[in-house]
Amino acid sequence: MDRKRQLLAGLPKVDEVLHDSRLEGFVGDTPRELVLDAVKEAIDERRQRILQSWEHMDDMEPAPFFDTIKEKIRQKRQHSLKRVVNATGVVLHTNLGRAALAESACQRLMEIGSGYSNLEYDVRKGARGLRNSHVEQMITKITGAEAAMAVNNNAAATLLCLSAMAEDREVIVSRGELVEIGGSFRVPEIMAQGGAVLVEVGTTNKTRLSDYENAITEETAALMKVHTSNYRIVGFTAEASLAELAALGKKRRLPVIYDMGSGLMVDLKRYGIDEPTVKESLRAGIDVILFSGDKLLGGPQAGIIAGKKIWIDAMKNHPLARIARIDKLTLAALEETFRIYLDEEQAVKEIPALAMLAMQPAELKKRGELLMRRLAGLSWCEAELIPVKEKAGGGCAPLAALDGFAVSISAQVPAEKLERELRKGECPVVARIIKDRVCFDLRTISDADTEIIIAAMRQAGEALHIMP
């Protein structure tokens, strides 16, 4: 018991630690609040260890204790939200922020974010203006829709759409399209939240146009089609096409809503991505289309609603529109992203998501060779260029497997250990593991990322003591 008390009494005092010369030089301009937190945490952790296993503990050694504090300070100095290198090859990785913005869209963020703007001000009239006006014209021009609006995300777009068009009434959806998108977007739940009554028709694998038609009653408010973004039903299947649904809608005077998810603007079939485009979906004659800003559109997180003016007006005037409204920074980046689509060839080059998806194996291989040359400087590992299959991600084209290349690393440590170490730096590198090897998939790596990967590998080599 005495030993335990002795150890507790030996715990350093916060003030002493703060004024220790070992810290004074290290702290620099780190806010005092963060240094204080680090010191208190380190002391507290030691106290807990003493209370739990004092029998096995020696007197405090200052050097490792101060190393712990320094590591804590280093971590606290970093922002929580930070850049990472995406070496997974998944272009629209929801956990890694989905689409990277085009350079010109980023410039707009700076410009609009750093000052005042005409967000809700009509400069010509000198009177109140409309937030939505900044994107509506561009969206209708690019998509061919009559009217459009942008909200916080596609989940919000769906909720707003159902609330404005179908509250307390029925919406007919195929059983094959009761989608769940990662996280918490589930068609039946969003339907209930929007106050609409979901009427399921058909079966999981087959839904015919007649199934919709037979389910129409006095209570029906709309027919809805949901794009099966992240899965496909294959084999013995049937579904009603958008054009068929649009024709049925016209015949029965019911609007047709299409939640398309991905928001693809340019045809990517030649790159192996078989997804419908917004324009062709609207041309099928539907009334309202909904899609995300940060999936295949390649812009910021947003939900885009485009279609017939009477429905878009109903949504603009609904109380939920204020709740789901888009922020000015998002608006700035979104307007610019749509502008880039004025020239489709340019869009495939300038919008990172599209440029990455369009990259051909030969280009990826070249990028891999650059990384291999830089890795050759590390004697503790061997690198090999391997062909891989990749997914677009972000709930898009679930069956598409793009041909790509990755640099596969072999070292004297388990792949999981190396992979974990690579995530510890100021700019974490998130890699793939294929066949027990850490792999850097080249589709989502930029040439600038190469240097970060090399630095992370150096650091990992030191931390794992595998540097010769």
Residues that bind ligand PLP (CB under 6 A): 153-155, 179, 181, 185, 226-227, 229, 259, 261, 292, 303, 395
Shortest spacing between CB 184 and ligand PLP, in angstroms: 10
Name which of 260 and 466 has its Cβ closer to ligand PLP: 260
Shortest spacing between CB 160 and ligand PLP, in angstroms: 12
Q: How far apart are CA 7 and CA 54, in angstroms?
A: 8
Name which of 23 and 296 has its Cβ closer to ligand PLP: 296
Name which of 185 and 440 has its Cβ closer to ligand PLP: 185
Count CB atoms within 10 A of the CB of residue 141.
Answer: 14
Shortest spacing between CB 441 and ligand PLP, in angstroms: 22
Of 338, 345, 400, 409, whose CA–CA distance to 150 is shortest?
Answer: 338
Residue nearest to ligand PLP (CB): 261
Shortest spacing between CB 341 and ligand PLP, in angstroms: 18
- Contact yes or no for 365/405 (Cβ under 8 A): yes
Shortest spacing between CB 106 and ligand PLP, in angstroms: 20
Name which of 163 and 408 has its Cβ closer to ligand PLP: 163
Shortest spacing between CB 155 and ligand PLP, in angstroms: 4
Residues facing 261 on adjacent strands: 291
Shortest spacing between CB 158 and ligand PLP, in angstroms: 6
Per DSSP, the residues of 361-415 read HHHHHHHHHHHHHHHTT-TTEEEEEEEEEE--BTTB-TT--EEEEEEEEEESS-H
Q: How far apart are CA 102 and CA 27, in angstroms?
A: 37
Name which of 327 and 369 has its Cβ closer to ligand PLP: 327
Of 399, 178, 185, 176, whose CA–CA distance to 275 is shortest?
Answer: 399
Name which of 289 and 407 has its Cβ closer to ligand PLP: 289
- Helix, strand or coil, per DSSP, at residue 273: coil
Shortest spacing between CB 261 and ligand PLP, in angstroms: 2
Q: How far apart are CA 217 and CA 196, in angstroms?
A: 14
- Contact yes or no for 293/337 (Cβ under 8 A): yes
Name which of 226 and 340 has its Cβ closer to ligand PLP: 226
Of 163, 158, 222, 153, whose CA–CA distance to 186 is shortest?
Answer: 158
Name which of 368 and 393 has its Cβ closer to ligand PLP: 393
Which position has the token pair 């089609």? 225
